[in-house]
Structure 1
Amino acid sequence: MDYQGMIFRPPSEADSILLQVTVGCSHNKCTFCEMYKAKRFTIKSDEQIFKDIDYAASKYRRIRRLFLCDGDALILPMKRLVPIMERIREKLPWLERVGTYANTKSIASKSVEEMKQLKELGLTIAYFGLETGDDVTLKAINKGADSARMIEMGKKIRSAGIKLSITVLNGVAGRERSMVHAKETGRVLTAIDPEFVGALSLMLTPGAPLNKDHKEGRFELIGAEEMLQELGMMIASTDLSDGLFHANHASNYLPIRAHLPKDRDKTLKMINDALAGKIKLKPEYLRAL
């Protein structure tokens, strides 16, 4: 398999075949993220992509999932993406799921009918970085879309029958807007009603612009207890019809896996118990990206 640069994937794709069809991220402007700063966004050649699919077909017959890398594979035009999906279906017919990252720009580039076509070809789940539902914070972190656009694009991909896993980022609003961020994120999640929500806790990395803001006093990073308070408010503000809300990423202080709405009260009690010192939090040195 040909890989250019470091490859990132969602935690739930740990056991998937990683097929790199793009290099980098087409947006690549989020202030909290440095994952793709060293990469210029490019689309790999069909020749290389098909070669990697053929290699995967010969080597990974027991693997049932495939993830399209890098940060924004859905941005590919249909004339490029459809043959890739057809080749995957032809060469790896045993796959049960194909996933990709998605953002508002890449979702907007496809009609609902085109996304339904991709779904029929095997694209069954998309990972969508919301981060926050607070418009002030969305602008501050340079996500490139406001909450209304996030809701519109989230609903659009769901209407195509593609499962949606939304990532939210605790701590990204700083101390001043922490509770606003929590409540507004709950509002947007409720409006989209995804199948999955994954909550991460902000960790500042050297190459991220937000880290520079922190060092120069323009951004105030909240601590572990405030992260939990924020997470509790977010869960209390989120109404899903039947969704899995998990905060079991390595960056989180308290692992959570809750089906909403049925596990809401139990989960909020666990958070309150942790805040009261009845449950130990993950020590800082064990947190990771």
Structure 2
Amino acid sequence: MDYQGNIFRPPSEANSILLQVTRGCSHNKCTFCELYKGTRFALKDEATIESDLEFARTHCRRQNRLFLCDGDALILPQKRLVALLTAIRDRLPWVTRIGTYANTRSIRSKTPEQLEELRDLGLAIAYMGLESGDDATLQAIIKGADSAQMIQAGRKVRAAGIQLSITVLLGIAQERRSAIHAEETGRVLSAIDPEFVGVLSLMLLPGTPLHSAWREGRFVLPSPDGMLAELRRMLAATNLSDGYFHANHASNYLPIKAHLPHDKAKTLNLIDMALKGNIGLKPEYMRGL
């Protein structure tokens, strides 16, 4: 397989065929992210992708999921995406699920009918980084969209019958807007009602604007207990009709897995026990991305 630059995928795609169709991220301005810094966004040429499909046809027969890399494969023109998904269906017929990252820009570029066409060709799940539902925080981290646009994009994906997994970040609003960030994020998640919510805790990465702001004292990261209180407030404000709210990423101090609405009360109680010191938190040396 031809991989150019750094390759990233969601944790749930760990065992998937990783087919890189774009290089980098079409936005690449978020202040907390260093995944694609120094990489100019580009669409990979069709001949290279064709060669990778042939490789997968021979060597990836045990993997029934495929993930389109990199940061935003959905930005591909519809004609190219249709041809690509058709080729995957024809050449890798054992693949039962195709996933991709998506942002508001790429979702906005597709009509509802185009998204339904991609769904019918096998696109089953999209991963969208919300990070926060607080407009002031979204503006501060240069996310490129406000909460109303996030809701519109998320609902558009859901209406097309494509599963949606949304990522949010604890600590991204600093101490001073922690409560607002948590409640507003719960509001936006409830409005979108995705199948999956993945909660991560902010890790300050050298080389990012946010890390520089932290070193200079312009960004104050919440304490572990502050992160936990933020998680509780966010969960309390989130109402899903039938979705999973997981904070079991390696970055989190307290791993939780909740199926909402069924597990909401007991999960809030679990967090309360941790805030009281009855459950130990993950030590710093065990946290990671």
TM-score, with structure 2 as normaliser: 0.99
The question of 1:195 aligning with 2:195 is answered yes
What is the aligned partner in structure 2 of residue 255 from structure 1?
255
What is the DSSP-based 3-state SS (H/G/I as helix, E as strand, rest coil) of the residue aligned with 1:203? coil
What is the aligned partner in structure 2 of residue 28 from structure 1?
28
Deviation readout 1:167-202 (Å, 9 max, x if unpaired): 000000000000000000000000000000000000
CA distance in 1, matches of 2:263, 2:127: 23
Tell me the amino acid that sits aligned with residue 123 of structure 2.
L
**Number of residue equivalences:** 289
Tell me the amino acid that sits aligned with residue 35 of structure 2.
M
Deviation readout 1:49-104 (Å, 9 max, x if unpaired): 11101101110101010000000000000121111111111111111100000000
Deviates more, 1:66-75 or 1:272-281: 272-281
Tell me the amino acid that sits aligned with residue 251 of structure 2.
S
What is the DSSP-based 3-state SS (H/G/I as helix, E as strand, rest coil) of the residue aligned with 1:48? helix
What is the aligned partner in structure 2 of residue 77 from structure 1?
77
1:172-211 alignment, distance < 5 Å: 172-211=172-211
Tell me the amino acid that sits aligned with residue 22 of structure 1.
T
CA distance in 1, matches of 2:75, 2:233: 34
1:87-126 alignment, distance < 5 Å: 87-126=87-126
The question of 1:138 aligning with 2:127 is answered no
How far apart are 1:215 and its partner, in Å?
Answer: 0.9
Tell me the amino acid that sits aligned with residue 146 of structure 1.
D
How far apart are 1:275 and its partner, in Å?
Answer: 1.1
CA distance in 2, matches of 1:208, 1:128: 21
Tell me the amino acid that sits aligned with residue 98 of structure 2.
V
CA distance in 2, matches of 1:36, 1:278: 40
Deviation readout 1:104-123 (Å, 9 max, x if unpaired): 00000000100000001100
CA distance in 1, matches of 2:217, 2:276: 30
CA distance in 2, matches of 1:158, 1:50: 30
Moved over 4 A (4+): none
Q: Which runs of 5+ in 2 are unaligned?
A: none
Deviation readout 1:233-263 (Å, 9 max, x if unpaired): 0000000000000011110111110011111
Tell me the amino acid that sits aligned with residue 159 of structure 1.
A
What is the aligned partner in structure 1 of residue 60 from structure 2?
60
What is the DSSP-based 3-state SS (H/G/I as helix, E as strand, rest coil) of the residue aligned with 2:235? helix
CA distance in 2, matches of 1:56, 1:280: 44
What is the aligned partner in structure 1 of residue 214 from structure 2?
214
Tell me the amino acid that sits aligned with residue 95 of structure 2.
L
CA distance in 2, matches of 1:193, 1:248: 20
Deviation readout 1:205-240 (Å, 9 max, x if unpaired): 001111111111111111111001000000000000
Tell me the amino acid that sits aligned with residue 75 of structure 2.
I
Tell me the amino acid that sits aligned with residue 131 of structure 2.
E
What is the aligned partner in structure 2 of residue 237 from structure 1?
237
How far apart are 1:38 and its partner, in Å?
Answer: 2.0
What is the DSSP-based 3-state SS (H/G/I as helix, E as strand, rest coil) of the residue aligned with 2:87? helix
CA distance in 2, matches of 1:110, 1:67: 19
CA distance in 1, matches of 2:230, 2:142: 21
Deviation readout 1:5-64 (Å, 9 max, x if unpaired): 121100000010100000000000000100000210000001101110110111010101
Tell me the amino acid that sits aligned with residue 8 of structure 1.
F
Tell me the amino acid that sits aligned with residue 174 of structure 2.
G
What is the aligned partner in structure 2 of residue 5 from structure 1?
5
TM-score, with structure 1 as normaliser: 0.99
Q: Which runs of 5+ in 1 are unaligned?
A: none
What is the aligned partner in structure 1 of residue 274 from structure 2?
274
CA distance in 1, matches of 2:43, 2:8: 16
- Of all paired residues, the percent bearing the same amino acid is 65
CA distance in 2, matches of 1:102, 1:114: 14
CA distance in 2, matches of 1:278, 1:16: 38
CA distance in 2, matches of 1:148, 1:141: 16
CA distance in 2, matches of 1:19, 1:222: 37
